[in-house]
Amino acid sequence: MRSLLYWVFVSLLYVYIKLLLILVVAKPNGKRSKQCIFVANHPNLFDPMYVLPIIRKRVTVLITEHAFNVPIFGTLLRYTNQIRVTSDKHAVYEEALKQLRSGASILLFPEGQNSKGNKLAPFHTGAVRLSMESNVPIVPIGIYLDPAWIWRKNVVIRNIKVVFAWYRYGWYGVTFGKEICIPGSVEDRLFVQKQTFTLRQTVVRLSRNARKACEHAILLGKRKNTVRFHNGLRLAYRVVCFLFFTRIH
């Protein structure tokens, strides 16, 4: 039942992103490992929901605890066994490691916060350490979007003030990199830090590639019908967003 609900949830997300985002996705040739740690930059609060349908496999996501407090949505996250990211970083790490050792794939955003536009924050070392301890390869992902279309608003969810950084519509580039295997010991902190820095540089390069792919698609006039349909939805979408967030606030 949980698996069925997960795929229904992901299918609805897929419909959403196909309607409201202009996707440009690039993946390397060849088969991917059965189990992976997907690592991406985080320019927008809804990146986990946008990337999930693109991955096309069952994935457990590390998501901010505030998302679990959203009515209905939070219930779905709990019921589909997503991982709540709290201030107890050790507990979060152990839960992610437990999921990996049980055979699950995970998606995480090692910045630990939303990027400032397309400028990445420093990465935490958790992704590299998880890969080393579980012997599961990392698949880096670079995301590009137009930060001018990110809608920022302060909202209150269960007496907690949260800044919503929502990329509502527009071009959304996602570029997958090749798998990275990191042998070694997590006790070697200097090595872990170097690998984390290298991983961040890889994600930066992939996000730039995603931007170039979007710009190339625009120059070639691709997805004209999608762009027209997308532009037609903007007014209605703005009205819905205004009414929704006014009610929450």
Q: Quick one: DSSP state of residue 110?
A: T
Structure tokens belonging to residue 58: 């069952």
* In the block, residue with structure tokens 């609900």: 5
Residues in a beta bridge with 119: 116
Evaluate whether 203 touches 41 at the Cβ level (below 8 Å).
yes
Q: Identify the pLDDT of residue 18.
A: 85
- pTM of the full predicted structure? 0.88
> How many domains would you assign to the chain?
1
Tell me, what CATH number does 92's domain have?
A: 3.40.1130
Which residues are CB-contacts of 198 (< 8 A; sequence separation ≥ 6)?
Answer: none
Q: Identify the pLDDT of residue 229.
A: 65
Evaluate whether 60 touches 106 at the Cβ level (below 8 Å).
yes
Residues in a beta bridge with 167: 150
Evaluate whether 60 touches 82 at the Cβ level (below 8 Å).
yes
Q: Identify the pLDDT of residue 151.
A: 82
Q: Identify the pLDDT of residue 211.
A: 96
- pLDDT values of the chain reduced to their tens digit, one per residue, 249 residues: 778 889 998 999 998 898 888 899 999 988 889 999 999 999 998 999 999 999 989 999 999 888 888 878 888 898 888 999 999 999 999 999 999 999 999 999 999 988 877 789 999 999 999 999 999 999 999 999 988 888 877 776 666 677 778 888 889 999 999 999 999 999 999 999 999 999 999 999 999 999 999 999 888 876 666 666 666 666 676 677 667 666 544
- H/E stretch holding 201: helix 189-219
For residue 126, give the nearest of 92, 177, 101, 100 by alpha carbon. Answer: 92
Q: Which domain holds residue 194?
A: 2-248
Q: What three-state secondary structure class fits 34? A: coil
Residues in a beta bridge with 60: 106
